[in-house]
Structure 1
Amino acid sequence: MFDKEYDVIVVGGGHAGAEATAAAANMGSSTLLVTMNLQTIGQMSCNPAMGGIAKGQIVREIDALGGYSGIITDKSAIQFKMLNKSKGPAMWSPRAQNDRMRFAEEWRMALENTPNADFYQEMVSGLLVNGNKVVGVKTSLGIEIRARAVVLTNGTFLNGLIHIGDKQFGGGRAGEKAATGITEQLVDIGFESGRMKTGTPPRVDGRSLDYAKMTPQPGDDNPEKFSYLPTPILKVQRDCHMTRTSQLVHDLLREGFDRSPMFNGRIKSIGPRYCPSIEDKINRFADKDSHQIFVEPEGWNTVEVYVNGFSTSLPEDVQYKALKSVAGFENVKFFRPGYAIEYDYFPPTQLKHTLETKLIDNLYFAGQINGTTGYEEAASQGLMAGINAHLKINEKESFILKRDEAYIGVLIDDLITKGTEEPYRMFTSRAEYRTLLRQDNADLRLTPKGYEIGLAKEERLKRMEEKQQKSEDFVSFFRKTSFKLEEVNPILMSLDSALVNQSDKLFKVFSRPKLTMDHMLQLEDVSTYVNDHNLDSEVLEQTEIQVKYSGYIEKEKTNADKLQRLENVRIPDNFDYSKLKSLSFEAREKLKSIQPVTISQASRISGVSPADISVLLVYLGR
């Protein structure tokens, strides 16, 4: 069946696997996606939404590099919101509700229309390894498929175990069997593995809910989108709704705690800190008498509803009884109960920054196998693994994003350098340079890089360059054009801002906190310039940020440049840390295990002190 050798085999068809397949194939590698079920490619296993705090920035970065997630999200969106709009632009985060079925369908169609991408449905039960190099995969039917590189994106399927109350059964997702064989083989080779847990809430029949008792959560009045390409903008949106738990709901849930796998010892692994189950929330935050529940429709034409905030592994009868006591859920009908799932992962300190494993050449890990949680985190790793697998087998320089270049760079550096013992989720607070890593400028930061490696197409680059030029020209216009007192002072008066006594440059008055682009468009010279140059909302937003936050942006660039000096001090491969007796014992252990590539990376390892870094710098002649 498979008489040819593929360039890249991707194992798993979730968000990481889909992006890895698209990246490798679009860059020119013959790519085979092997998945246990071709009908669930790009499946949203948990909530029907993409983006959110920091996650939205990641989706825009994937899009800017030439990935598919932003395009798929726009094509299947049912609602769009820009979160944190009341804060500075570094915190603005796009989020979309999606039609779950259309999202998976769009992914399937996008991949089928990608040249160089082939598909095969079966379970991969092992790897073909020659010495310290992977050369293919072996399926459960015993079929051997050869490849020059392999990307593992197994999600929650590696020895997956589903828990509902005191019941447990093997599975990688509701209704789908677990994957076996790979963990055991990798551990035999010398990899370290662990177990993690995640969970999901009940799905219910929207026809059984009383929305009059809930608070509507509409989308933005002027919805934006994720992709920088001309994808469709939402004209009509579906509302979400919000309700709350109560003390009664909490009491009913507590009745089942003795049968909860979380509390009776059946689940031994650690779940996501920032997306806890409802039983974990009422246990950890016993002082709170209610928690928010977000009622999210699963699509345009389905009655299925996702109960966000009610993730649980309690017995199904306890789930049902407690949820019936939530306002609006008195007559609720279940489609299926919530559950928890435990699965194998491999601590990511065993990887290089390219996501290639240190033990086996040309073998890459991406997604939840690395201990992350979230579609967006998985998709970005898949993209980077697919890119680097293609580059490696073609003997080209690897593609690594630094911490001041992308949230994707922060994510991967955190995983490789610090590891994780609980499901890792991206937050804006994890990025030192979040003023530089905004959602509005992901294309300016990354599209030239994506184009240079052969992933982003010329159309993307031209759109980016046009936006960049128009923004720079508009900023220049504000710097050299003076305002008229009779136009500006009425606006300042309406904002209760100090009036000006003499004319000055538009840039100076625009820098005031209360003034927005909408105010500036009331000025004749500004509105004339915008109309004459046909400037769209993206250019207007980019210009406003460059004017109002120029000082902060320049300061952060300076700080990033200073850190770059340490990034340029490379540590030789296979460096022998044992001969540096001045290093602390912990530092020697950690440095030997992780093998950092640069002094900057070494400085971010937990347990490596500034004194240890000084010792390294002295030894390296710096």
Structure 2
Amino acid sequence: MYSSYDVIVVGAGHAGCEAANAAATMGSKVLLITMNMQTIAQMSCNPAMGGVAKGQIVREVDALGGLSGIISDKSMIQFRMLNRSKGPAMWSPRCQSDRNVFAWEWRKALEENHNVDFWQDTVSEVIVKDNRVKGVKTSLGVEFSAKAVVLTNGTFLNGQMFIGEKVFGGGRTAERSATGLTEQLVHLGFEAGRMKTGTPPRVDGRSLNYALMEEQLGDENPGKFSYTNTPALTKQRSCWITYTNQAVHDELKTGFDKSPMFTGRIKGLGPRYCPSVEDKINRFADKDRHQIFVEPEGWDTVEVYVNGFSTSLPETVQYNALRKIQGFENVRMFRPGYAVEYDFFPPTQLKPTLETQLVQNLFFAGQINGTTGYEEAACQGLMAGINAHRNSHEEAEFTIKRSEGYIGVLIDDLITKGTEEPYRMFTSRAEYRTLLRQDNADLRLTEKGYAIGLASQERYETMLAKREGIAKLTETIRATKVKPEEINTFLESKGSAPLREKGSLYTLLKRPEIDQSDVKGILSSLPDMPNGVGEETIEQTVIEIKYEDYLNREKQNADKLDKWENLSINPTFDYDRLKALSFEGKEKLKRLRPSTIGQASRISGVSPSDVSILLVYMGR
């Protein structure tokens, strides 16, 4: 056991695990401190990874060399590619996970990383001297020194749990809250706030009547998250869909007078896009039913997660309402749902590296920054871990632009706009979502991960082979001419105009009537088809061809805005010298300290004329 480390990571949730693994893989000696060694990488809420925009984040984390994609592949019990009926920019991978296997695989991976040490304890204080972090002090009075510290405290900072009129101290069921750290950080000058989140009841799957529900199967040919050679899913467990009804709503309403949310006992803001069931029936009183997803928690357990029924109503009200859901008439409840309220620190106090502006080499990642979701936490942890390592070794900072990844969008949104509710990623938040697809995350980011020593040589070479395969296949398609007699019967079957003369296959594939499955059949018959071209390469090539015009337009827009992203602003710049700046713009710039003109332009309250003044001052 060492007393001095390069990087200390506080908290072993999704952010903490990625942070510890990234810093350690890059060469730092890391200490991971957790309140409970048995809950490393615990899936506190639903046992699933990915989803709309979130799946893209998992693939980006994997492309950079993180582990969330690999762990998800090893622990999934069902895989679905969401939004297949829409354009490729909307396709989002999602898997149902085995909760226990997921946590075990994460712990196993961290234990196999010889640069990671563990300590079970609660951190009560961050040791700071001359505005620079020096280490941490635990509740046992043990002090560890470090060059950098990453705080990933999740929902544990002064956490309180609510079930009806009952209030418990804690950040997760059966786990105590962490006290003292918020107060110290506020004393150092940090601004803090309160947020809330919630979780639904867990029930006994043996007590459910699945015959009364809609079965939700996984994909016939399940995909995966990681670009590495993780095992393919050969069998899957079904999920199920049922609905609330008016009787359920009426039962829930009997507990509204005891609801901590409606009576004002909970002050923090909850996630608008994932409301509790009582909030849904209150806000959407015109709807007579709401969807419930019945999700198994693993291969070898009968425990079921009732997705869509998050609640903090009294447990008797929860139970009585559940029994009125179709298929739940004889339900047995393992444990009730609850809400948890916790401290967070507005992320406008951070740099693009997730280092705090007030204390050097102190990083925040995950729900401490006001975000929600495993995926959002994981990518923040990864970026904080990378930069904690680089800071401790006096290397240049590592960031991702908005045009390079959803990770860049998320961090830029947080540090420039802040958040007044738990932040969740959506595809609509990204201006360049046609560029930032789930299928090309490796082509966008693996080279970056390899350059900083996180992505392996094998990952890098696999990406290069894929890039070369796409280039060769594209060249073959461009060179191929198709005769009318070879293709017209097929075109007519698709309702597409027939060819009148020999035409380019490249142009033909751009037709909207010709979908992905058609293209595979056409390409397989090509005599000049390059050897060893896999399905992923074909899919990627077709997307690039079909959406060429859109992609070029987005690239041009990104290139135009990049000139502002490359105009750095000195962190000590005196904005008071620029008398022409608006009062609000000046105050926001002084408080948020943007690192580039591009970031400054996205700050709420900084007007276009303020940006123009900055550009004039900088000689642009």
What is the aligned partner in structure 2 of residue 610 from structure 1? 608
- Are 1:457 and 2:466 matched, yes or no? no
What is the aligned partner in structure 2 of residue 565 from structure 1? 563
For residues 216 and 564 of structure 1, the distance between their equivalents in structure 2, rounded to whole angstroms, comes to 47
For residues 247 and 528 of structure 1, the distance between their equivalents in structure 2, rounded to whole angstroms, comes to 62
What is the aligned partner in structure 2 of residue 106 from structure 1? 105
For residues 77 and 527 of structure 1, the distance between their equivalents in structure 2, rounded to whole angstroms, comes to 36
What is the aligned partner in structure 1 of residue 542 from structure 2? 544
The Cα offsets for residues 166-224 of structure 1, whole Å up to 9 and x where unpaired, read as 00010010010001111011001110000000000000000000001100000111110
SS of 1:441's partner is: helix
For residues 525 and 406 of structure 1, the distance between their equivalents in structure 2, rounded to whole angstroms, comes to 32
CA shift for structure 1 position 586: 1.0
For residues 572 and 133 of structure 1, the distance between their equivalents in structure 2, rounded to whole angstroms, comes to 20
SS of 1:364's partner is: strand
For residues 255 and 126 of structure 1, the distance between their equivalents in structure 2, rounded to whole angstroms, comes to 44
Which structure 2 residues correspond to residues 575-614 of structure 1 after superposition, within 5 A?
575-614=573-612
Uncovered stretches (5+) of structure 2, i.e. residues with no partner: none
Q: Is the 8 A contact 1:521 1:527 kept in 2?
A: no
Q: Is the 8 A contact 2:57 2:407 kept in 1?
A: yes
For residues 166 and 92 of structure 1, the distance between their equivalents in structure 2, rounded to whole angstroms, comes to 42
What is the aligned partner in structure 1 of residue 233 from structure 2? 234
For residues 556 and 617 of structure 2, the distance between their equivalents in structure 1, rounded to whole angstroms, comes to 27
1:525–1:266 CA distance, 2 compared to 1 (3 A): closer
Q: Is the 8 A contact 2:18 2:379 kept in 1?
A: yes
Amino acid at match of 2:494: L
CA shift for structure 1 position 526: 4.2
Of 610-619 and 185-194, the range deviating more from structure 2: 610-619
Uncovered stretches (5+) of structure 1, i.e. residues with no partner: none
SS of 1:163's partner is: strand
Amino acid at match of 2:588: K
Which structure 2 residues correspond to residues 154-553 of structure 1 after superposition, within 5 A?
154-523=153-522, 526-530=525-529, 533-553=531-551
SS of 2:179's partner is: coil
Q: Is the 8 A contact 1:242 1:293 kept in 2?
A: yes
CA shift for structure 1 position 125: 0.9
SS of 1:560's partner is: helix
What is the aligned partner in structure 1 of residue 84 from structure 2? 85
Q: Is the 8 A contact 1:488 1:523 kept in 2?
A: no
SS of 1:522's partner is: helix
What is the aligned partner in structure 2 of residue 619 from structure 1? 617
Q: Is the 8 A contact 1:36 1:123 kept in 2?
A: yes
CA shift for structure 1 position 527: 4.3
The Cα offsets for residues 91-150 of structure 1, whole Å up to 9 and x where unpaired, read as 100000000000000001011111201111111111111121111110111000111110
Amino acid at match of 2:339: A
Q: Is the 8 A contact 1:42 1:103 kept in 2?
A: yes
- Are 1:554 and 2:552 matched, yes or no? yes
For residues 99 and 109 of structure 1, the distance between their equivalents in structure 2, rounded to whole angstroms, comes to 15
1:525–1:252 CA distance, 2 compared to 1 (3 A): closer
For residues 138 and 199 of structure 1, the distance between their equivalents in structure 2, rounded to whole angstroms, comes to 30
CA shift for structure 1 position 516: 2.7
Q: Is the 8 A contact 1:148 1:362 kept in 2?
A: yes
CA shift for structure 1 position 484: 2.4
For residues 299 and 498 of structure 1, the distance between their equivalents in structure 2, rounded to whole angstroms, comes to 50
CA shift for structure 1 position 529: 4.2
What TM-score do you get using the length of structure 1 for normalisation?
0.98
SS of 1:440's partner is: helix
1:29–1:525 CA distance, 2 compared to 1 (3 A): closer
Q: Is the 8 A contact 2:495 2:513 kept in 1?
A: no
CA shift for structure 1 position 580: 2.0
Amino acid at match of 2:616: V
Amino acid at match of 1:317: T
The Cα offsets for residues 395-422 of structure 1, whole Å up to 9 and x where unpaired, read as 1111000000000000000000111110
For residues 389 and 110 of structure 2, the distance between their equivalents in structure 1, rounded to whole angstroms, comes to 17
Q: Is the 8 A contact 2:291 2:308 kept in 1?
A: yes
The Cα offsets for residues 461-506 of structure 1, whole Å up to 9 and x where unpaired, read as 0100001100111011111111122221111011011111001111
For residues 159 and 522 of structure 1, the distance between their equivalents in structure 2, rounded to whole angstroms, comes to 59
The Cα offsets for residues 268-288 of structure 1, whole Å up to 9 and x where unpaired, read as 110001000001111111111
What is the aligned partner in structure 2 of residue 147 from structure 1? 146
For residues 558 and 15 of structure 2, the distance between their equivalents in structure 1, rounded to whole angstroms, comes to 29
1:522–1:151 CA distance, 2 compared to 1 (3 A): closer
SS of 2:136's partner is: strand
For the aligned residues, what is the CA RMSD? 1.0
For residues 401 and 556 of structure 1, the distance between their equivalents in structure 2, rounded to whole angstroms, comes to 17
What is the aligned partner in structure 2 of residue 23 from structure 1? 22
SS of 2:294's partner is: strand
CA shift for structure 1 position 569: 1.9
What is the aligned partner in structure 1 of residue 48 from structure 2? 49
SS of 1:79's partner is: strand
SS of 2:261's partner is: coil
For residues 520 and 178 of structure 1, the distance between their equivalents in structure 2, rounded to whole angstroms, comes to 55
For residues 521 and 593 of structure 1, the distance between their equivalents in structure 2, rounded to whole angstroms, comes to 54
Q: Is the 8 A contact 1:204 1:335 kept in 2?
A: yes
1:524–1:5 CA distance, 2 compared to 1 (3 A): closer
Amino acid at match of 1:187: V
The Cα offsets for residues 448-469 of structure 1, whole Å up to 9 and x where unpaired, read as 0000000000000010000110
For residues 496 and 81 of structure 1, the distance between their equivalents in structure 2, rounded to whole angstroms, comes to 29
CA shift for structure 1 position 517: 4.1
What is the aligned partner in structure 1 of residue 9 from structure 2? 10
What TM-score do you get using the length of structure 2 for normalisation?
0.99
SS of 2:89's partner is: coil
For residues 390 and 91 of structure 2, the distance between their equivalents in structure 1, rounded to whole angstroms, comes to 33
1:525–1:429 CA distance, 2 compared to 1 (3 A): closer
1:420–1:526 CA distance, 2 compared to 1 (3 A): same
Amino acid at match of 1:258: D
SS of 1:80's partner is: strand
1:614–1:334 CA distance, 2 compared to 1 (3 A): same
For residues 508 and 192 of structure 1, the distance between their equivalents in structure 2, rounded to whole angstroms, comes to 56
For residues 229 and 525 of structure 1, the distance between their equivalents in structure 2, rounded to whole angstroms, comes to 25
Q: Is the 8 A contact 2:58 2:69 kept in 1?
A: yes
For residues 312 and 526 of structure 2, the distance between their equivalents in structure 1, rounded to whole angstroms, comes to 57
Q: Is the 8 A contact 1:475 1:546 kept in 2?
A: no
For residues 263 and 519 of structure 2, the distance between their equivalents in structure 1, rounded to whole angstroms, comes to 62
The Cα offsets for residues 299-335 of structure 1, whole Å up to 9 and x where unpaired, read as 0010000000000000101111111100000111011
Amino acid at match of 1:561: D
Amino acid at match of 2:466: K
Amino acid at match of 2:618: L
Number of equivalenced pairs: 620
